[in-house]
Chain A
Amino acid sequence: MAQKNIAGQTVEVDAEGYLTRPEQWSRAIAEALAQELGLQLTEAHWKVIEFLQRDYRERGSVPGMRRLNKVGGFATKDLYALFPDGPIKKAALVAGLPKPASCV
C-alpha cells in the first residue's frame, strides 16, 4: 500500500493510484486527481462521478458501460468525450473508487 500527497493531504492508494480508503476522498482530491489525468472537471464530469459513487454505495461494485448507459442515462460517446480513452477507469479513479472490472 502506497501513500500519496495530494491537495494538501496524505491518502492511501494502490499500485495504480486508486484510493484504497474511500473515506479519504474529497471534492478537492477529485479535482487534483483529475488534473493529474489532464482533466478539468465540469458539471458534466461531476454527474458521472456522483452516479458512480451512488451506484457503488448501493451495489458494491463500479458499474459497467451498459449500466452507465441504461441506468445512469449517459451515452458512451459522451463518456469518451468527458474521460478520453478509458472513461470508466478514469472516472472511478477520480471518484475515489476501486479499479473497475470494466476494461474501459
Chain B
Amino acid sequence: MKELLILGAGTAGTIMANKLRRRLPAADWRIRVVDEAAEHFYQPGFLFLPFGIYTARDVVRPKRRFLPRGVEFLQAAVDRIEPDRRRVRLADGPELPYDLLVIATGTRPVPEQVEGMADGDWRRRVHEFYTFEGAQALSAALRDWRGGRLVVHVSEMPIKCPVAPLEFAFLADWWLSEQGLRDKTELVYVTPLSGAFTKPIASQVLSGLIERKRIHVVTDFAVARVDNERHALVSWDERDVPYDLLVTVPPNLGADLIERSGLGDEMNYVPTDRHTLRARGHENIFVIGDATDVPTSKAGSVAHFEAEVLTENVLAHVCGEPLPERFDGHANCFIESGFGKGFLLDFNYDLEPVPGRFPFPRLGPLALLGESRLNHWGKLAFKWIYWQVLLRGWPIPFVEHRMSLAGKQIPAGALKPEAVG
C-alpha cells in the first residue's frame, strides 16, 4: 500500500483529496490529510462579515464534511517535513511516512512582523479581516463607529487575494453611506505600492472609481511601525498616517512548518515549478495553493485551476511518466465595488487583466474589467459554488484551467510572448 499525504485541508488540500480519491485506486493508495484545525473557513466571506452581509453560518463548516469516504483525516499540527527520509513529523510526536507529498498549508497574516502592530491597539483600534476572529472583532468595532479617520492598510506584498483590502474600502464607503456616517468619516487607503491598482490596463479603466468614492490614497508607504500612543502608522521614511480605526492586512507568510523544514524562501513559500507545480529539487513533493511561490495571485480560484493541473501530473508521476500538464497562472477574481456592483478580472502569467466578456465572447454574461450588478451577484453566488462544487473537486462549467483569450480585448503589446508561442 502506498501513502499519499496531503498537508493542509484548506481550499487546495480539500480539492486535491477529492480529486485524487476518485482517480487513485483505493487498493494501491492510502490517502491521508492532516490539518490542525477542525473547521473550514470560506475566507472570501471574511470580507462580508464585518458589514453584516454574512454571518458566521455562511463561512464556517466542519472540514470533515468536505472530505470523501476513503480519505483519512488527522486533526494534528505538523511539526516538520523530512524530505530526505520521506516522512512528516507531527507536533505531538507521531511520524507519517509518504511516497508522495502534497503541501497545501497556505499563507496567514502575521501582525507581529510589524513593530507595534500586535500591541495595545490590537483588536481595539487596530483590526484585520484575514482571519475569522479578526473579521468578527472588526464587525463589533464597526457597530460602535461614530465617525473619524478610518484607515485601510496593506503592510506589504504579496498578500492573498490582493484586491480584498480595496474591496473592503469600497464596501466601507457603501456601508458608511447606508448608516449615515459617510460624511463623518474620512476614508484613507494606504498601500506600499505606487498606486491602488498596479496592473496598467486595470488602472486606466478603474481610476476615477476611487476618486468618485472620495477615498484618499497614500502610496509608496513602507510601514515601519504602528505607534499605539499617537494611534498612527509610521513609515520608514518617517511619514505618519493617524487613524481612529485601522483596518490592516498584516504581512502574509507561509506556514512556520515550511521554515522548520528548510523548504521555504524568505517568506516561507515553497519554491515551486510554476508549470508542473512540483517542489524544486524534490521529486516526490508537489505544492498547491497559497503555499507556492509561483508568480500569480494567491486565490481560491487559482487553487481550483492548479488542482486540475496537479491531478493529472500526480497521476502521471505515480506511473513514472513525464508530467503532462502545465499551469498558466490563471486567476479569476470578482471585485466588490459597493452599492450592489462588482468587477471581474481574468488573467494569467502572461496577460494582465483586460476588458471583455466572460466566459463567452460577446455574450458574457459577465463583464471583464467593467462594473456591473451581475458581477456582484456572481461574487455572492461563488459562496454556493465554493461549498457545493469547488471544494468537492468538481469542474466549474465553461471555466477552464487554461485561460481563454476569447472575449478579451487585448491591447497591442499586452500579451507576453510566452503565451503566443
Interface on A for B, CB 8 Å cutoff? 64-67, 69-71, 76-77, 80, 84-86, 103-104
Contacts and interface: CB of A to CB of B under 8 A. Distances in A.
User: Which of A65, A84, A85, A104 gathers the greatest number of chain B CB atoms within 10 Å?
Assistant: A104
Given A77-B236, A104-B220, A66 B192 contact: no
User: Which of B193, B237, B266 gathers the greatest number of chain A CB atoms within 10 Å?
Assistant: B266
B265 interface: yes
Nearest to A71: B266
Give the interface SS of chain B, mostly helix, strand, loop or mixed: loop
Given A103-B192, A104-B192, A84 B237 contact: yes
14 contacts: A66-B156, A66-B266, A67-B265, A67-B266, A69-B266, A71-B266, A76-B236, A80-B237, A84-B237, A103-B157, A103-B192, A103-B220, A104-B192, A104-B220
Contacts of B236: 76-77, 80, 104
Lowest 8 CB-CB distances: which A-B pairs, in order? A70-B266, A66-B266, A67-B266, A104-B222, A80-B236, A103-B192, A85-B237, A103-B193
Contacts of B267: 66
Interface in B238-276: 265-267
Contacts of A71: 266
Contacts, number: 30
Nearest to A70: B266
A36 B193 CA distance: 25
A86 to B, nearest CB: 8
Nearest to A84: B237
Interface of B: 156-157, 192-194, 220, 222, 224, 236-237, 265-267
User: Which of B193, B222, B224, B267 gathers the greatest number of chain A CB atoms within 10 Å?
Assistant: B222
Contacts of A104: 192, 220, 222, 236
Contacts of B194: 103
Contacts of B266: 64, 66-67, 69-71
Contacts of B265: 67
Contacts of B237: 80, 84-85
A85 B194 CA distance: 14
A18 to B, nearest CB: 15
A65 B224 contact: no
User: Which of B156, B193, B224 gathers the greatest number of chain A CB atoms within 10 Å?
Assistant: B156
Nearest to B113: A66
A65 to B, nearest CB: 7
Nearest to B158: A64
Given A67-B266, A84-B237, A103-B192, 4 more contacts: A69-B266, A80-B237, A103-B222, A104-B220
A46 B118 CA distance: 35
Contacts of B156: 65-66
A93 to B, nearest CB: 16
B281 to A, nearest CB: 14
A64 B236 CA distance: 15
Contacts of A86: 220
Contacts of A80: 236-237
